[in-house]
Amino acid sequence: MNLRDALFNWLQIKVVWEARPRDRSAEETTRFFWEILSKDHRVEEVQVQREEEGYRVVYRRKGEEESLRFDSDQVEQLLLNIEAEPKYNRQFGCGSDTE
């Protein structure tokens, strides 16, 4: 998996986990993609910046800071798909601890 795909997948599932903090599958998958980023791509640190139309992922690798931008609709699509599936929402109270 290339770095861009790994960052996108990590960001997508991180957005899910943040929206559904009791979702252990989302937590485990976020950690899985972090492992890919850190071991396979030598990413040392990641910060996510929410922008008007997307997400900017700023990461440090080999001592250098780099960034990629991802479209918010694409990033948030996984969360929308999960929340649209009734079997997932029964367990997690409609996808949020605050609802």
Q: What is the pLDDT of residues 31-81, one digit of tens each?
A: 999 999 999 999 999 999 999 989 999 999 999 999 999 999 999 999 999
Identify whether the C-beta of residue 42 lies closer than 8 Å to the C-beta of residue 61. Answer: yes
pTM over 0.75: yes
Residues 92 and 50: their CA atoms lie apart, in Å, by 25
Is the model's pLDDT at 94 over the cut of 80?
no
Q: Where are the domains of the chain?
A: 3-91
Check residue 92 and give its pLDDT.
Answer: 53
